[in-house]
Amino acid sequence: GENVEQHPSTLSVQEGDSAVIKCTYSDSASNYFPWYKQELGKRPQLIIDIRSNVGEKKDQRIAVTLNKTAKHFSLHITETQPEDSAVYFCAARTWNNDMRFGAGTRLTVKP
């Protein structure tokens, strides 16, 4: 089955700097890659996603890139703000529609 690995597990940056979180997946048939943000005690919130026919997608300060050949995708957050502090999860959807999540990255943005 699909296996998603996420790195790093924790990331601390200074406000205004960029943050990059990387994920790899194992199933070449996976075709949809969302990113979720989860604040403490709250539900995971979809922040951006990318489909397998696209290499890059951007939404304001957030961008995601996908390399299908290498089977990895990354989340880029520019001009980080303290409110970006949260746990971020990547995921890959397999051919049978179940979604496999990474273990998460705890991002801390220091003011």
Partner 1 sequence: DTGVSQDPRHKITKRGQNVTFRCDPISEHNRLYWYRQTLGQGPEFLTYFQNEAQLEKSRLLSDRFSAERPKGSFSTLEIQRTEQGDSAMYLCASAGGFYEQYFGPGTRLTVT
Residues that bind partner 1 (CB under 8 A): 4, 6, 32, 34, 36, 42-46, 49, 51, 89, 91, 93, 96-104
In angstroms, give the least distance from the CB of 3 to partner 1: 12
Contact residues for 63 (Cβ-Cβ < 8 A; gap 6+): 48, 56, 57, 75, 76, 78
CB of 46 vs partner 1, minimal distance in Å: 6
Q: Cβ closer to partner 1: 16 or 46?
A: 46
| Minimal distance, residue 104 CB to partner 1, in Å | 5
In the complex, minimum distance from the CB of residue 69 to partner 1, in angstroms, rounded to a whole number? 22
- CA dist 46 and 54 (Å) reads 18
CB closer to partner 1 out of 18 and 103: 103
Cβ distance to partner 1 smaller for residue 51 or 61: 51
